[in-house]
Amino acid sequence: MTDVSFRFRIATPDDAPALLAIYAPYVENTAISFEYAVPSVEEFRSRIEGVRKSYPYLVAEAADGSLLGYAYTHTFIPRAAYDHCAETTIYLALDARHQGLGKRLYRALEEFSLAQNIYNLYACIGEPQGEGDEYLTDNSIRFHEHMGFRRIGVFTRSGYKFGRWYDMSWAEKLLCDPPETPAPVIPFPQLDKALVAEILLRAGE
């Protein structure tokens, strides 16, 4: 896919079938997702609704209305002390990779996170088991490095899929120096609508 025009918007529960179609190959054919079975549309719709209660769930939409990928932040650890941190998730349609979509989605997530008073972002990334791993490459590791994330730890042989064990690495990006007394986190639906529109428009430029 080349020379594709696209825009960014907030996902809705009605996007579930299209987003699930993007996600399914990662479940069925890769160790990027550690799910064994593709979730139902109803389950995926519920996940979207759950994220949207507190965090941004972004989609990249082509000019013809097809969806090219999605990214969102979500709870890092469900304890109040960790509220100013969030975990990131991103999936792109297989033929929409290497178009700059991932970078733009992540930049928008970073802006939204700062607007919400979220200061640290984390990503949990599977590590390929040697050269020629047919289920996992180092693309995600390199992408996060390019986006300014720093590898901070490894969970050794913590994920099992396709008959083999995988290490999981954690990557971290500090968006700013946090204040000594942070302001409360603002749930995404409570952000100023004009600011949300501005960030989405800037991401698509």
Q: How many domains does the chain have?
A: 1
Is 155 a member of any domain?
yes
Q: How far apart are CA 111 and CA 195, in angstroms?
A: 10
> Residues 23-37: what's their mean pLDDT?
97
Q: What angle do CA 47, 52, 55 make, to 5 degrees?
A: 115
Cβ–Cβ contacts within 10 Å for residue 156, how many? 9
Q: How far apart are CA 15 and CA 21, in angstroms?
A: 10
Q: How confident is the model at residue 96 (pLDDT cuts 50, 70, 90)?
A: confident
For the stretch 158-205, pLDDT in tens is: 999 999 999 999 999 999 999 999 999 999 999 999 999 999 999 887
pLDDT of residue 98: 82
What burial class does residue 19 get, using C-beta atoms within 10 Å of its C-beta: 0-12 exposed, 13-18 middle, 19+ buried? buried
**Per-residue tokens: 109:** 């997530």
For the stretch 51-92, pLDDT in tens is: 999 999 999 999 999 999 999 999 999 999 999 999 999 999
Task: Give the chain's end-to-end CA distance (angstroms, integer).
Answer: 19
Any idea what the CATH number is for the domain that residue 161 is in?
3.40.630.30
pTM of the model: 0.94
Is 1 a member of any domain?
no
Enclosing domain of residue 111: 6-203
Q: How confident is the model at residue 4 (pLDDT cuts 50, 70, 90)?
A: low
What are the phi and psi torsion angles at 40 (to 5°)?
-75, 165
Q: How far apart are CA 12 and CA 123, in angstroms?
A: 23
pLDDT of residue 129: 87
Percentage of residues of the chain with pLDDT beyond 70: 98
**Torsion 40-69-157-161 (CA) sign:** positive
Q: How far apart are CA 86 and CA 55, in angstroms?
A: 9
105 DSSP 8-state letter: H
What are the phi and psi torsion angles at 193 (to 5°)?
-60, -35
